[in-house]
Amino acid sequence: MKYVDGFVLAVPRKNLPAYVRMAKKSWKIWREYGALDYKECAGDDLDVKMGVPFPRQLNVKPGETVVFSYIVYKSRSHRDRVNEKVMKDPRIAEMCDPKSMPFDVKRMVNGGFKVLVDGLGTAFGERPIGLHPGRKAE
C-alpha cells in the first residue's frame, strides 16, 4: 500500500526562489534513494469558505504564502528505508541548518499517511478498476 509524507508550511514570498532551489535539490536526493514522487505546491486559491483555510491554520503573516508538499513511497517500510538514507546524506545536512532555511521550521506541519484512494481508482482494500483477478497492479 502506497504511503505519503505530507508537509504544510508558511514561506515568505521573498524566499520562494530559495525554497524552490532547495526543493529541487531535495527531490533529486529523495529520488536517488527510491521515492516514487515528490511535489512542492505554492498556495493559489486559499480564500476558501469551507473548513479552516490553510493561512489561518498556519497563522500566515503578511508577505507569506502556504506551501503544500508531499513525497510518495511504495509503503511505510519503504518510506522508512528511504528516509533513513536521505537523513544520512551530507547534502541534506548541508541544506537543513535551521538558521539558513527559507521558512520557519517550527511552524511546519507534517506527518505520514496511508493512501486510501489513488489515481487508479482504488480505495483502501480494493482492487484497481479494470484489473483482472490474478494480475498485479504496477
Residue 99 pLDDT: 78
Tell me, yes or no, whether 137 lies in a domain.
no
- The Cβ of residue 8 has, within 10 Å, a number of other Cβ atoms equal to 19
Tell me how far the alpha carbon of residue 108 is from its chain's centroid: 11
**Number of domains forming the structure of the chain:** 1
Q: Any idea which of 24-28, 38-42, 67-71, 103-107 has the lowest mean pLDDT?
A: 103-107
Tell me, yes or no, whether 74 lies in a domain.
yes
User: CATH number of the domain that 84 lies in?
Assistant: 3.30.70.100
Written in H, E and C, the secondary structure of 83-130 is HHHHHHCHHHHHHCCHHHCCCCHHHCEEEEEECCECCCCCECCCCCCC
Tell me, yes or no, whether 58 lies in a domain.
yes
- Cell numbers at 99, concatenated: 538558521
Summarize the confidence of residues 37-54 as an average pLDDT: 93
- Cell numbers at 105, concatenated: 521550521
Q: Is the confidence at residue 87, as pLDDT, over 50?
A: yes
Tell me, yes or no, whether 124 lies in a domain.
no
Tell me, yes or no, whether 119 lies in a domain.
no
- State how far the Cα of 87 lies from the Cα of 49, in Å rounded to an integer: 38
Tell me, yes or no, whether 46 lies in a domain.
yes
Tell me, yes or no, whether 130 lies in a domain.
no
Q: Is the confidence at residue 127, as pLDDT, over 60?
A: no
Tell me, yes or no, whether 57 lies in a domain.
yes
Segments forming the whole domain that contains residue 68: 3-111
Q: Determine the angle formed by the axes of helices 16-32 and 76-88, rounding to 10 degrees.
A: 110
Greatest distance between any 2 Cα atoms in the chain: 55
